[in-house]
């Protein structure tokens, strides 16, 4: 039900060029009605006072079943709705299937997210790309798009020259086989440290990378082995985060098309020589130049991204491709999109970078194996401990404790990422986010279990539901339920889940207020039925909403 449209439609007197629906607002306080039409903006056109306009319009209103009365206060035309009829209409016509939108017409959207650099442990920043990307994937799917989840792993580049260099200098193949990723990380960190005082090491690493690019018989198999070890670890982390990618082809895979791309760029006269390197000039686009090939002929991050997007277009004929990374890569994607445009590919218009602000931990709160850059696995373990802590006194009959702890830990982390406006930096609030009180993920999960428990206890009756028992909180929930699909749309359109998070939190708070002030299962068949109908629709909205913001639901906690 579009309430604003309904109200606008009730006004028989029309004004040329004015759509009342665009002016109508929700009233701020209940004594001013439910919706209001401010007449000030009409005064100029109609050359009448706002009060007079309000009076004219009011006299032309056809009340119908949904509008109870209208009142004029200082140039505002206030509408009081018939809450019983509106609630009945909205609640009894609600169907969870209606939240599945068809906007996307099955268009194909590729989302490139997660995408860690395999030379390093996954750090807490990866939680952001992974969860924001996953949330977008879910939102696009919910809105009727055909989504592909792509993890463009950073498995190529000089950093692998460093790891192999480190292994040759301070380790061995056996050490790698024995200690796996830990050994690789150690070589990498040490190499970077020693490089500071021994700059010749940089050249050494570049030479090894050159051998990787040339598929050197000795080096290439070592490189492949290293990648497999690191990738296996990364995949395990994504599994813990509950995210499944369709594709893990990364920089190494797409590097096979680099020489073809270089020829194409040459043919299109886009490459310039600059001190033996090949660059693309953007002086007319107000961007700094981009290096495409280094002196030794090796490719760069951007070179591989050019080849990846062209190859992905050939493969998927996508309608949109979205890249989720931190704001540090804004320039990279501006250049990438410009290059694709300069190459004459129309799909450059369908490339979109979705950047996000930094995620950090408060100093010294969570000890991490890596000191400077907090490692994701440490954060996950910390969260799991905390989650176990807050549920330790609870008894479970349906769910098992380990399952609950896992779901709570993940919910806390995911919510802490998504609740903040995407582009803003955020610090993980260690103290407050693990609590059943306040605006936290466990509070939301707990509210959901309350709804489920009411529905379990309710025994169906044949009576007709009586909505006259709905108070302001109940009616506010009715409106939120009615509005839920537009919140899904808006969150997708803005690429910002914080909109959705805020609405879900508000709905949970309103429900808990209603729950404390009125008994749901009140012994009266007709009013109970109305309230349970509301609870069911709310549960369905939250079920979809929680899924979209990557929070698992629980039956009890």
Query: In which residue are the tokens 């306040």 written?
Result: 438
Tokens read off for 328:
């540090």
User: Shortest Cβ distance from residue 114 to ligand ARG (Å)?
Assistant: 9
Tokens read off for 460:
């169906």
Quick check: 152 and 115 in contact, CB under 8 A?
yes
Cα end-to-end span (Å), the chain: 35
User: Shortest Cβ distance from residue 504 to ligand ARG (Å)?
Assistant: 29
- Exactly one of 36, 78, 87, 115 binds ligand ARG (CB under 6 A); that residue is 115
**Measured torsion, CA atoms of residues 376, 553, 449, 457, in degrees rounded to the nearest 10:** -160
**What long-range pairs does 234-241 form, CB within 8 A, spacing at least 24?**
234/116, 234/118, 234/122, 234/153, 237/122, 237/126, 237/376, 237/377, 237/380, 238/114, 238/130, 238/151, 240/380, 241/127, 241/130, 241/131, 241/134, 241/410
Asked if 323 interacts with ligand ARG (CB under 6 A), we say: yes
Task: Number of residues interacting with ligand ARG: please give it, by CB under 6 A.
Answer: 9
- Exactly one of 78, 117, 368, 482 binds ligand ARG (CB under 6 A); that residue is 117
- Exactly one of 34, 89, 112, 378 binds ligand ARG (CB under 6 A); that residue is 112
User: Shortest Cβ distance from residue 323 to ligand ARG (Å)?
Assistant: 5
User: Quick one: 94 or 313, whose CB is closer to ligand ARG?
Assistant: 313
Which residues, numbered 138-167, are part of the site for ligand ARG (CB under 6 A)? Answer: 152, 154
Cα(300)–Cα(321) distance, rounded to whole angstroms? 21
Nearest CA among 355, 357, 359, 375 for reference residue 367: 375
Order of all β-strands in the sheet with 320-326: 146-150, 108-112, 320-326, 351-356
Helix axes 472-493, 525-548, angle to 10 degrees: 20
User: Shortest Cβ distance from residue 357 to ligand ARG (Å)?
Assistant: 15
Near ligand ARG by CB under 6 A, which window of 64-72, 113-121, 474-482, 511-519? 113-121
Residue showing the smallest CB distance to ligand ARG in the complex = 154
User: Quick one: 110 or 201, whose CB is closer to ligand ARG?
Assistant: 110
User: Shortest Cβ distance from residue 215 to ligand ARG (Å)?
Assistant: 22
Which residues, numbered 268-307, are part of the site for ligand ARG (CB under 6 A)? Answer: 305
User: Shortest Cβ distance from residue 255 to ligand ARG (Å)?
Assistant: 13
User: Quick one: 323 or 359, whose CB is closer to ligand ARG?
Assistant: 323
Quick check: 208 and 111 in contact, CB under 8 A?
no
User: Shortest Cβ distance from residue 351 to ligand ARG (Å)?
Assistant: 10
Quick check: 550 and 131 in contact, CB under 8 A?
yes
Asked if 114 interacts with ligand ARG (CB under 6 A), we say: no
User: Shortest Cβ distance from residue 378 to ligand ARG (Å)?
Assistant: 19
User: Quick one: 252 or 293, whose CB is closer to ligand ARG?
Assistant: 252
User: Quick one: 173 or 328, whose CB is closer to ligand ARG?
Assistant: 328
Cα(501)–Cα(246) distance, rounded to whole angstroms? 26
Quick check: 41 and 23 in contact, CB under 8 A?
yes
Quick check: 138 and 99 in contact, CB under 8 A?
no
Q: How many CB atoms lie within 10 A of CB 128?
A: 23
Near ligand ARG by CB under 6 A, which window of 108-116, 197-205, 387-395, 421-429? 108-116
Asked if 447 interacts with ligand ARG (CB under 6 A), we say: no
User: Quick one: 315 or 522, whose CB is closer to ligand ARG?
Assistant: 315
Asked if 325 interacts with ligand ARG (CB under 6 A), we say: yes
Which residues, numbered 240-259, are part of the site for ligand ARG (CB under 6 A)? Answer: none
User: Quick one: 118 or 387, whose CB is closer to ligand ARG?
Assistant: 118
User: Shortest Cβ distance from residue 290 to ligand ARG (Å)?
Assistant: 13
For the chain, what percentages of helix, strand and coil (3-state, to nearest 5) are there?
Answer: 55, 10, 30
User: Quick one: 323 or 448, whose CB is closer to ligand ARG?
Assistant: 323
User: Quick one: 417 or 507, whose CB is closer to ligand ARG?
Assistant: 417
User: Quick one: 308 or 418, whose CB is closer to ligand ARG?
Assistant: 308
Near ligand ARG by CB under 6 A, which window of 111-119, 214-222, 438-446, 463-471? 111-119
- Exactly one of 33, 50, 116, 166 binds ligand ARG (CB under 6 A); that residue is 116
Cα(170)–Cα(183) distance, rounded to whole angstroms? 10
Tokens read off for 236:
């395990």
**Under the rule (CB under 6 A), what is the footprint of ligand ARG?**
112, 115-117, 152, 154, 305, 323, 325
């Amino acid at each position: 039900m579009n309430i604003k449209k309904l109200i606008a439609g009730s006004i028989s007197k029309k004004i040329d060029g004015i759509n009342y629906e665009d002016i109508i607002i929700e009233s701020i306080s209940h004594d001013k009605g439910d919706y209001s039409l401010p007449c000030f903006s009409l005064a100029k056109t109609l050359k009448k006072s706002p009060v007079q306009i309000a009076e004219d319009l009011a006299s032309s209103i056809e009340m119908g079943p949904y509008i109870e009365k209208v009142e004029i206060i200082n140039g505002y035309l206030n509408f009081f709705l018939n809450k019983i009829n509106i609630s009945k209409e909205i609640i009894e016509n609600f169907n969870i299937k209606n939240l599945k939108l068809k906007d996307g017409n099955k268009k194909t959207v590729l989302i490139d997210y997660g995408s860690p650099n395999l030379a390093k442990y996954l750090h807490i920043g990866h939680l952001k790309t992974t969860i924001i990307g996953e949330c977008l994937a879910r939102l696009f799917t919910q809105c009727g798009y055909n989504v592909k989840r792509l993890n463009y792993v950073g498995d190529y580049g000089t950093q692998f020259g460093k790891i192999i260099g480190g292994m040759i200098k301070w380790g061995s193949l056996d050490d790698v086989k024995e200690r796996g990723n830990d050994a690789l990380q150690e070589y990498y960190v040490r190499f970077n440290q020693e490089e500071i005082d021994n700059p010749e090491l940089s050249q050494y690493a570049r030479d090894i990378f050159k051998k990787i690019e040339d598929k050197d018989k000795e080096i290439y198999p070592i490189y492949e082995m290293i990648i497999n070890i690191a990738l296996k670890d990364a995949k395990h982390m994504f599994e813990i985060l509950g995210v499944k990618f369709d594709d893990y082809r990364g920089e190494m895979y797409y590097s096979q098309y680099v020489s073809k791309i270089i020829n194409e760029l040459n043919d299109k006269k886009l490459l310039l020589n600059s001190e033996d390197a090949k660059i693309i000039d953007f002086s007319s686009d107000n961007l700094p130049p981009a290096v495409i090939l280094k002196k030794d002929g090796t490719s760069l991050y951007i070179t591989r991204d050019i080849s990846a997007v062209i190859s992905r277009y050939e493969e998927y004929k996508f309608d949109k491709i979205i890249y989720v990374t931190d704001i540090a890569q804004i320039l990279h994607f501006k250049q990438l999109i410009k290059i694709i445009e300069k190459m004459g590919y129309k799909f450059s218009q369908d490339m979109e970078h979705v950047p996000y602000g930094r995620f950090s931990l408060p100093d010294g709160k969570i000890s991490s194996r890596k000191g400077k850059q907090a490692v994701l696995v440490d954060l996950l373990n910390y969260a799991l401990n905390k989650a176990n802590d807050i549920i330790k006194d609870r008894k479970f009959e349906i769910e098992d404790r380990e399952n609950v702890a896992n779901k709570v830990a993940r919910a806390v982390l995911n919510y802490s990422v998504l609740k903040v406006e995407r582009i803003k930096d955020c610090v993980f609030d260690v103290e407050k986010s693990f609590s059943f009180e306040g605006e936290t993920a466990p509070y939301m999960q707990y509210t959901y279990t309350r709804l489920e428990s009411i529905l379990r206890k309710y025994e169906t009756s044949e009576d007709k539901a009586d909505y006259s028992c709905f108070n302001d909180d109940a009616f506010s929930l009715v409106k939120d339920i009615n509005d839920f699909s537009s919140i899904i749309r808006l969150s997708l359109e803005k690429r910002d889940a914080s909109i959705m998070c805020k609405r879900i939190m508000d709905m949970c708070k309103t429900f808990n207020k209603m729950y404390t002030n009125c008994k749901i299962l009140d012994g009266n068949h007709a009013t109970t039925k109305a309230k349970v109908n509301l609870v069911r629709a709310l549960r369905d909205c939250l079920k979809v909403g929680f899924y979209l913001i990557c929070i698992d639901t629980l039956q009890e906690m």
